[in-house]
Structure 1
Amino acid sequence: MVSLSPRLRRVGSTGDLMVRAASAALPLIDRGSLRQLETHFIAPEIYRRDDLARRQGQLAQLISDRVIPQLLRLHSDVVPDAPPVEVVVKALAPDRDDITGLADIILGSDLEAAVSYVTLLRERGLSMDALFVELLEPTARHLGEMWDHDLCDFIDVTLGVARLQKLLAAFNNSHIAPQLDSRRAVLMAMTPGDQHFFGVTMVERFLLASGWKVRTETSASAAEIADATQGSWFAVAGLTAGSEQMIDSLTTTIARIRQQSCNPHIGIMVGGPIFTANPALAAEVGADATAPNAPTAVLIAQKLFDTAIARQGPRAAG
């Protein structure tokens, strides 16, 4: 499961949660901008699909069988009794059906339906941070598991993850400044001393297919990796570590990146078996987040990008 460090979590009282839900602006998107987002977040060679009619039918069936009955149940069972807010939020929290349901929707071609799906949950009291941790990230992880079990192909997973990126960007309003596209850049690197190429190569493949600009370093020293972030602007740095023997080297590399990066708000994500087994280790080495597979790493990168842009404010588009 993904782990976000405490400095990226926003934990408030239940009252604060409801106030944020009531005052949060809906994403400033329309059908025209949704169509533009199709090419904004998906590499052109990836964007192809010739089974639109079948997928639209599946989407309609999903909404009919799962989404509408759930909303009716919530309306009849939760609202009249006026239970404590904690009970309402717990009842609305995404479950396994919500996760697989969103996966089915984003594997189709109707992004507007996916936006509506997330909007419904958000309007009922869930913050965007909660939705990321409990719905969007688990959906990306679910897509990765489907790919691992040959339930969908690389194109399916890439399109799905790219659309999850678009959802996140739309609700965080980081899609509305075209200039920001040039800053969707990631530095991928292996921890000095590591010899496991597969993980970083797979993440690189998904990032490229999802519209990111990627620079990959597989044999650089900690100083060379940090120098790369000093010489070029990266929204995110991703580092992999294959074993616990790499912990000290990884910690040193992350510290140097934070000291030298020309982006003072650079997001750092880490991956590898040691973090899959112990996600809390990411914070211990100084990273912002970790992800268990490549599709999830793409969504984490977008989350870190949105966080960095929000911290920089209007200057980020310059």
Structure 2
Amino acid sequence: MGQVARSAFPAIDRQSLHRLETHFIASEIYRRDDVAARQVKLARLISNRVIPQLLRIHADVVPDAPPIEDVIKALAPSSSDITDLADIILGSDLEAAVAYIVVLRDRGLSMETLFVELLEPTARHLGEMWDRDECDFIDVTLGVARLQKLLAIFNNTHEFAAWDRRRTVLMAMTPGDQHSFGVTMVERFLVAAGWEVHTELSGTVEDIVSAVTEGWFAVAGLTLASDGMIDSLKATITKLRKHSQNRDIGIMVGGPSFTANPALVSVVGADATAPNAPAAVVTAQKLFDLSITASRAEHTR
């Protein structure tokens, strides 16, 4: 099996990468002196999730990608161990991670496959590890930041500097819901990941609609505590889309009902769901990418 030289991978603009390093994470976290060590540790902790997903993508989804052993040797030359696949994706070398993702994209991997097969499951697993106290908030934030970066690189939205200020999210509960824990938890992770978040805890549809009428939001996130409020959520989403300044706003929903039955997402008129807060951050990035891509297309017509 022939080895793929490092030069066979795409050249990466290091200046853009530096900007990416600071873009998807709160500055107080990025400035920590233990970031690189934490990233290496995190890659090892989550390797059991990342490696099987990457191997499946390589074998079943992108069969024309370079042999996996050659990828490891080219991007992680200090070792040929298969566990270095996790380090390529989540470790301290962003350039290697970006090179690998771009190779997969250029060989035909779709954004939806990347998200469904790798990014969302990895983010979900990070949240589960945090729930079990296997890693802390900083670790999860670093991992989620990397996943956002890779998604932005894949979609080329990292090149849209003028849209940076529009990484804004509206978080709210379904009108009638009194359970704010889910909203505040997602808000915490979004803020740590560099998002500007407006949280509407009033619980009224009028206040939610007023927020999207008066301000521009790339994404709206709504939580649902019980099936008894599905009709209320559906009506709220309909009004939200009708009155939103951003005609391409992405809407994500969360709660036990959607975890048990993801098909409810389309029933209520939303675009996506996420099983936990870290996965919600990556889902928001996906919806942001779709939103600004659609908005740019409209502006260039």
TM-score, with normalisation over the residues of structure 2? 0.79
Give the Cα separation in 1 of the matches to 2:129 and 2:88.
Answer: 15
Structure 1 unmatched runs, 5+ = 1-25, 79-84, 93-99
Q: Deviations over 1:26-45 (max 9, x none)?
A: 99952221111111111111
The question of whether the paired residues in 2 share the 8 Å contact of 1:41 and 1:166 is answered with yes
Return the offset for 1:289.
0.3
1:213 shift after superposition: 0.4
Structure 2 vs 1, CA of residues 303 and 27 (structure 1 numbering), >3 Å: closer, same or farther? farther
Q: Which runs of 5+ in 2 are unaligned?
A: 1-8, 68-82
CA shift at 1:103, angstroms? 5.6
The alpha carbon displacement at 1:55 in A equals: 5.5
Q: 1:251 to 1:280 in 2, by over 3 A?
A: same
Distance 1:236 1:28 in 2: 32
Match of 2:36 in 1: 52
Cα RMSD (Å) of the superposition? 3.2
The 8 Å contact of residues 103 and 160 in structure 1, kept in 2 or not, is answered as: no
Using the alignment, how far apart are the partners of 1:33 and 1:268 within structure 2? 29
May I ask how many residue pairs the two structures share in their alignment? 267
CA distance in 1, matches of 2:120, 2:38: 26
Paired AA for residue 155 in structure 2 = N
- 1:244 is aligned to 2:227: yes
Q: How does 1:70-89 map to 2 (within 5 A)?
A: 88=63
- Residues 232-241 or 30-39, more deviating: 30-39
Residue 32 of structure 1 pairs with residue 19 of structure 2: no
Retained in 1: the 8 A contact 2:152–2:158? yes
Q: Distance in 2 between matches of 1:221 and 1:32?
A: 45
Report the alpha carbon displacement of residue 118 of structure 1 after superposing the two structures with TM. Answer: 2.2
- Do the aligned partners of residues 216 and 251 (structure 1) sit closer, same or farther apart at CA in structure 2, a change above 3 Å counting? same
Q: Alpha carbons of 1:148 and 1:49: their partners in 2 closer, same or farther (altered >3 Å)?
A: farther
Q: Matched residues in 2 for 1:58 and 1:86: separation?
A: 26
**Alpha-carbon distance in 1 for matches of 2:121, 2:133:** 18
Q: 1:114 to 1:221 in 2, by over 3 A?
A: same
Asked if the contact 2:265/2:271 (under 8 Å) is kept, the reply is yes
Match of 2:147 in 1: 164
- Trace 1:4-23 onto structure 2 (pairs within 5 A): none
How has the CA–CA distance of structure 1 residues 220 and 147 changed in structure 2, closer, same or farther, with 3 Å as cutoff?
A: same
Q: Write the distance in 2 (CA, Å) between the matches of 1:213 and 1:54.
A: 25
- Cα 1:28–1:206 shift into 2, 3 Å: farther
Q: Which has the higher contact order (CA 8 A, sep 6+)?
A: 1
Equivalents in 2 of 1:51, 1:207: separation in Å?
A: 19
Give the secondary-structure state (helix, strand or coil) at the position aligned to 2:253. Answer: strand
CA change 1:227–1:87 in 2 (3 A) is closer
Change (3 A) 1:102 1:87: closer
Aligned to 1:272: 255
Structure 1 residues 241, 57: closer, same or farther in 2, change over 3 A? closer
Instruction: Output one character per residue of 1:79-121: Cα deviation in whole Å (capped at 9) or x when no partner.
Output: xxxxxx98948xx9xxxxxxx9766555432111221332343
**3-state SS, counterpart of residue 159 of structure 2:** coil
Distance 1:205 1:53 in 2: 23
Question: Structure 2 vs 1, CA of residues 104 and 271 (structure 1 numbering), >3 Å: closer, same or farther?
Answer: farther
Going from structure 1 to structure 2, the CA distance change for 1:276 and 1:49 (only over 3 Å counts) comes to farther
Say whether 1:209 aligns with 2:192.
Answer: yes
Native 8 Å contact 1:28 1:170 kept in 2: no
What's the secondary structure of 1:46's corresponding residue?
helix
- 306-315 vs 196-205, which moves further: 306-315
Q: Does the 8 Å contact 1:27/1:170 carry over to 2? A: no
Out of 179, 186, 198, the position equivalent to 2:162 is 179
